[in-house]
């Protein structure tokens, strides 16, 4: 019997049964849950932040009042928050702020190196090479903060998956875990009890397509296709490449959905059962459901971990609204998985910063649901920080927080004025970052500007998920554009 080498030198043998899969996320158009920053916007170029709003609720505010329900929508929750199904696992404590940024750095390095080496020899790397790379310490994977619950198999099994616009292949941990499975909240998917599971053949076109989706050549175990995917910290998943029924909602059921049935998985995925890939490759969820949704999806990330957001497949109700501004996807990003943006400028408090256009075009930029803090070219961040500090000079500086070097101690104030930050994108699109996306709050004495600098001008800029909070972000793959709408959720 043919075998495959997996991490820890555990033999990985073929098992041809049924499977499980996972999928994605949430509601369409305007949810109304507690806004972490409850201050109202001033009529000037400032936000008013009321300090009593910085304390987040320990309970889930699950109200959906005002939400524009759509059939093809799923709920999106922060994986460590009280609204998450993983929150009930008392054995798992949320990461500290330092750990969060450590994870974020791993993800950023992975994305930047992947794009920097886009002309490299990924085709020469095999799954066995991935499998033999140890995860640093098993703590980080850098694959995102937000999860959705989808159904896999027949009968349907509900699984909580991390959704990620920077990844393509969807995978979940599967019994019998011939190599290793990390601890997850949901019971692991057992393909042997699903009537709709089938393995993908090694000789199939689908198996060959794994190279572009994962960057690694597939292998075979007997005649079954074996996938391997790795993340920024060397965490990974390997297993059988398979087909299964995916149930997103009662109205949205897809047979023969291609996914990874993980038999050897290492890294801490926050108790989630796997990952839902929302990238642009042909194996991603948007591409596999393109006949119905035309590679269009949107989401809104909630303002806090105690609130709920949404992910909608297909055109949402605000798709054609004048309140949504679209910018073309960048043509400078060669990797087919990522959604590129062309940043043309930044303003602080209504003042357009003096930043050369070449600062943004040298390495380009992407939007990413899994990166927490937006990374900017060094010169762009220096200009942003300088102007922000100048306008905040009346307030006392606080201790730096890991990669965040501009922090304030607001403990003696009841309210403060925060200058509005706006990004400009190709096509004349101006996006004013919500207050909740401007600041990262450790505590009232350590409230930080939620942006960081890249280490080099050649490093890709990344528009992260903190800056996306409460916005409705619309990905129109068919139209080659990304749209932004305000007040998508709260």
Question: Per-residue confidence of the chain (490 residues) as pLDDT tens digits?
Answer: 443 333 333 233 333 332 222 222 222 233 333 333 444 444 588 999 988 877 666 678 766 433 445 667 899 998 777 887 775 554 457 778 888 888 788 888 878 887 776 543 333 333 332 222 222 222 233 445 799 999 999 999 999 999 899 899 999 999 999 999 999 989 999 999 999 999 999 999 999 999 999 989 999 999 999 999 987 666 899 999 999 999 998 889 999 999 999 999 988 677 899 999 999 999 999 999 999 999 999 999 998 888 899 999 999 888 888 889 999 999 888 777 899 999 999 999 999 999 999 999 999 999 999 899 999 999 999 999 999 999 999 999 999 999 999 999 999 999 999 999 999 999 999 999 999 999 999 999 999 999 999 999 999 999 999 999 999 999 999 999 999 999 899 8
SS3 letters across the chain = CCCEEEHHHEEECCCCCCCCCCCCCCCCCCCCCCCCCCCCECCCCEEEEEHHHCCCCCCCCCCCCCCCCCCCEEEEEECCCCCCHHHHCCCCCCCCHHHHHHHHHHHHHHHHHHHHCCCCCHHHCEHHHHHCCCCCCCCCCCCCCEEEEEEECCCCEEEEEEEECCCCCCEEEECCCCCECCCCCCCCECHHHCCCCEECECCCHHHHCHHHHHCCECEEECCEEEEEEECCCCCEEEEEEEEEEEEEECCEEEEEEEEEEEEEEECCCCCCCEEEECCCCCCCHHHHCHHHHCCEEEEECCCCCCCCEEEEECCCCCCCCCCCEEEECCCCCCCCCCEEECEEEEEECCEECCCCHHHHHCCCEEECCCCCCEEECHHHHHHHHHHHHHHCCCCCECCCECCECCEECCCCCCEEEEECEEEEECCCEEEECCHHHHEEEEECCEEEECEEECCCCCCCEEECCCCCCCCEEEEECCCCEEEEECCCCC
A 10 A CB-CB count for 362 gives: 17
| CA distance from start to end of the chain | 55
Q: Work out the burial of residue 237: count CB atoms within 10 Å of its CB; fewer than 13 is exposed, 13-18 middle, 19 or more buried.
A: buried
Does residue 50 contact residue 441 with C-beta atoms inside 8 Å?
Answer: no
CA distance 237 to 171: 8
Our measurement of the distance from residue 131's CA atom to the centroid of its chain's CA atoms, rounded to an integer in Å, reads 23
Q: Is there a contact between 263 and 249 (Cβ–Cβ < 8 Å)? A: no
Between the alpha carbon of residue 186 and those of residues 84, 175, 259, 379, the distances in Å are: 12, 12, 18, 45
Residue of 294, 297, 266 whose CA lies nearest to 74: 297
Q: Are 217 and 126 in contact (CB under 8 A)?
A: yes
Residues carrying an active site annotation: 164, 368
Which pLDDT does position 123 carry in this prediction?
A: 34
Task: Measure the CA angle with vertex 281, ends 220 and 218; round to 5°.
Answer: 10
Question: Which class is 61-115+140-317 in CATH?
Answer: mainly beta
Name beta bridge partners: 299: 311, 473
Burial class of residue 393 in the structure, from the number of CB atoms within 10 Å of its CB (0-12 exposed, 13-18 middle, 19+ buried) = exposed
Say what the pLDDT of residue 126 is: 37
Spans of all domains in the chain: 61-115+140-317, 318-489
d(CA 228, CA 6): 10
Token couple for 306: 């105690």
Query: Residue 139 and residue 233: Cα distance in Å, rounded?
Result: 9
The whole-angstrom separation of Cα 380 and Cα 408 is 21
Say yes or no: do domains 61-115+140-317 and 318-489 share a fold. yes
Neighbours of 62 (CB within 10 A): 14
Respond yes or no on whether the N-terminal peptide bond of residue 177 is cis (omega within 30° of 0).
no
How much is the pLDDT for 136? 27
Show the tokens assigned to 293.
């949704």
pTM of the model: 0.83
Please list the residues that pair with 296 across neighbouring strands.
Answer: 476
State residue 63's pLDDT score. Answer: 62
User: Residue 143, Cβ neighbours under 10 Å: how many?
Assistant: 26
Paired sense of beta strands 374-376 and 451-453, if any:
parallel
Residue 204 main-chain phi, psi, to 5 deg: -85, 160
- CA separation for the pair 153, 170 (Å, rounded): 14
Fold designation for 318-489: Cathepsin D, subunit A; domain 1 (2.40.70)
Residue 134: both structure tokens together:
């140890």
Q: How far apart are CA 284 and CA 305, in angstroms?
A: 26
């Amino acid at each position: 019997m043919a075998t495959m080498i997996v991490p820890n030198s555990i033999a990985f043998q073929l098992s041809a049964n049924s499977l499980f899969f996972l999928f994605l996320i949430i509601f369409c158009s305007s949810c109304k849950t507690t806004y972490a920053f409850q201050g109202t916007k001033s009529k000037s170029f400032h936000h008013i932040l009321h300090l009593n709003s910085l304390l987040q609720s320990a309970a889930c505010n699950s109200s959906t009042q005002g939400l524009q329900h759509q059939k093809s929508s799923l709920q999106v929750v922060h994986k460590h928050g009280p609204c998450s199904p993983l929150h009930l696992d008392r054995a798992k404590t949320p990461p500290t702020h330092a750990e969060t940024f450590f994870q974020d750095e791993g993800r950023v390095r992975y994305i930047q190196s992947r794009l920097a080496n886009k002309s490299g020899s990924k085709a020469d790397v095999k799954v066995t090479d991935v499998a033999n790379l140890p995860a640093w310490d098993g703590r980080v994977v850098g694959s995102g903060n937000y999860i959705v619950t989808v159904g896999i198999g027949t009968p349907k099994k509900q699984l909580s998956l991390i959704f990620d616009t920077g990844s393509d292949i969807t995978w979940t941990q599967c019994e019998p875990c011939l190599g290793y499975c990390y601890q997850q909240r949901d019971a692991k998917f057992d393909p042997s009890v699903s009537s709709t599971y089938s393995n993908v053949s090694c000789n199939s076109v689908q198996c060959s397509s794994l190279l572009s989706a994962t960057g690694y050549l597939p292998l075979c175990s007997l005649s079954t296709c074996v996938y391997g995917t790795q993340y920024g910290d060397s965490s990974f998943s390997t297993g059988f490449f398979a087909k299964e029924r995916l149930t997103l909602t009662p109205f949205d059921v897809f047979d023969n959905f291609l996914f990874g049935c993980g038999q050897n998985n290492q890294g801490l995925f926050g108790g989630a059962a796997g990952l839902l890939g929302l990238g642009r490759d042909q194996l991603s969820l948007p591409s596999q459901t393109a006949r119905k949704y035309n590679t269009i999806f949107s989401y809104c990330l909630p303002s806090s971990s105690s609130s709920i957001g949404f992910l909608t497949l297909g055109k949402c109700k605000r798709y054609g609204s004048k309140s949504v501004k679209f910018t073309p996807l960048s043509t400078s990003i060669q990797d087919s998985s990522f959604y590129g943006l062309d940043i043309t400028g930044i303003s602080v408090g209504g003042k357009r910063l003096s930043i050369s256009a070449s600062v943004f075009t040298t390495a380009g930029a992407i939007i990413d649901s899994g990166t927490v803090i937006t990374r900017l070219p060094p010169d762009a961040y220096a200009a942003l920080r300088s102007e922000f500090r100048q306008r905040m000079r009346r307030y006392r500086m606080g201790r730096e927080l890991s990669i965040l070097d501009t922090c304030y101690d607001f403990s003696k104030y009841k309210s403060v004025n925060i200058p509005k930050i706006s990004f400009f994108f190709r096509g004349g699109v101006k996006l004013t970052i919500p207050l909740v996306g401007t600041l990262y709050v450790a505590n009232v004495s350590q409230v930080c500007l939620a942006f960081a600098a890249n280490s080099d001008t050649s490093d890709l800029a990344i528009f992260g998920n903190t800056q996306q909070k409460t916005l409705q972000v619309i990905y129109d793959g068919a139209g080659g554009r990304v749209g932004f709408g305000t007040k998508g959720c709260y």
